[in-house]
Amino acid sequence: MSRTVYVNGNYLPEEEATVSIFDRGFLFADGVYEVTSILDGKLVDFAGHAARLERSLTELDMQSPVSMEALLDIHRELVARNGIEQGMVYMQITRGSDGDRDFVFPDPETTKPSLVLFTQAKELVDTEAAQKGNRIISVEDIRWGRRDIKTVQLLYPSMAKMMARKAGADDAWLVQDGFVTEGTSNNAYIVKDGKIITRNLSSDILHGITRTAVLKFAREAQMKIEERPFTIDEAKAADEAFTTSASAFVMPVVSVDGATLGDGAPGPVARRLREIYIAEMRKAAI
């Protein structure tokens, strides 16, 4: 069945939705995005995503074409029109099109940003992946230096995911100067002797909205947390590991570069945090 999507002020059947071939998102990956999950037909942590979106836009000298309140209404309208109970809303803002190709940014007074949103229905809670856990390989992190900005330049993460699939694994962790930065589309964590270790925030990683919430819940549950870079050797020797993202919540990791963690099943910390996260977000979703 055809989805209803949103493009620059209009709700349209997906087949009728178009953007210009000169759109800078298409030509230069000159755009930012957010993925917000939907539980029980409601948005999870919209305020967190809106705050990060505003930061991404500011860092790139871009403006949102609509207010954050209007953006919330569009998200809700799309979820309702498509009858989504579980899944995601994808939202993208690009610098728009001035009808040509030029490295110089167009004048924002005359070239308006493009705003595109669509829904993706997906089971997020009862997934086989969460029951089995993910197998991870490590690959070099060769992305640009501003990973704290959520841009649509996702070619290398996509290639890294394919390297993982070709190696018979589920996903990849990216390694820079010997330390794990993050996963292809998630933040990375290991657990050793009851302590959760995850890379500290900087421009080396995306500041995950799920990360913020999960670390808060972990603290509230009296879990110990160390925010620092860790190596793949530490990950291979960890008791357990997991990733966080809006599209997979807390996802257990059961092996790293072929080394099985613990007994090879999702670990207790990851399982507990997943449960807490889903329960709390169900309560707070709007």
Catalytic residues: 150
Tokens of 197: 């270790």
d(CA 286, CA 47) in angstroms, rounded, equals 10
Half-sphere exposure of 181 (CA within 13 A, CB side): 24
Restricted to residues 241-270, the positions that interact with ligand PDD (CB under 6 A) are 244-247
Restricted to residues 225-244, the positions that interact with ligand PDD (CB under 6 A) are 244
**Which of 105, 280 has the CB closer to ligand PDD?**
280
Q: For residue 157, give every residue at least 6 positions away whose Cβ sits within 8 Å of its Cβ, in sequence order, or none.
A: 143, 174, 184, 185
Our finding on whether 211 is near ligand PDD (CB under 6 A) is: yes
Our finding on whether 185 is near ligand PDD (CB under 6 A) is: yes
d(CA 30, CA 23) in angstroms, rounded, equals 9
The minimum distance between CB 213 and ligand PDD, in angstroms, equals 8
Q: For residue 265, give every residue at least 6 positions away whose Cβ sits within 8 Å of its Cβ, in sequence order, or none.
A: 133, 254
Candidates 5-13, 57-65, 192-200, 207-215; binding stretch for ligand PDD (CB under 6 A) = 207-215
**Which of 103, 228 has the CB closer to ligand PDD?**
228
Q: How many CB atoms lie within 10 A of CB 158?
A: 10
Our finding on whether 182 is near ligand PDD (CB under 6 A) is: yes
Q: At what angle do helices 268-284 and 209-220 cross, to 10 degrees?
A: 110
**Which of 36, 114 has the CB closer to ligand PDD?**
36
Tokens of 146: 């501003």
Our finding on whether 201 is near ligand PDD (CB under 6 A) is: no
Q: What angle do CA 218, 223, 228 make, to 5 degrees?
A: 85
Find residue 260's DSSP bridge partners: 255
Q: For residue 13, give every residue at least 6 positions away whose Cβ sits within 8 Å of its Cβ, in sequence order, or none.
A: 2, 3, 4, 5
Q: What angle do CA 194, 214, 146 make, to 5 degrees?
A: 110
The minimum distance between CB 260 and ligand PDD, in angstroms, equals 25
The minimum distance between CB 165 and ligand PDD, in angstroms, equals 16
Site string for ligand PDD, 7-46 (x = CB under 6 A): ----------------------------x-----------
Our finding on whether 138 is near ligand PDD (CB under 6 A) is: no
**Which of 56, 244 has the CB closer to ligand PDD?**
244
Our finding on whether 170 is near ligand PDD (CB under 6 A) is: no
**Which of 202, 260 has the CB closer to ligand PDD?**
202
Binding site for ligand PDD (CB under 6 A): 35, 182, 185-187, 206, 208-211, 244-247
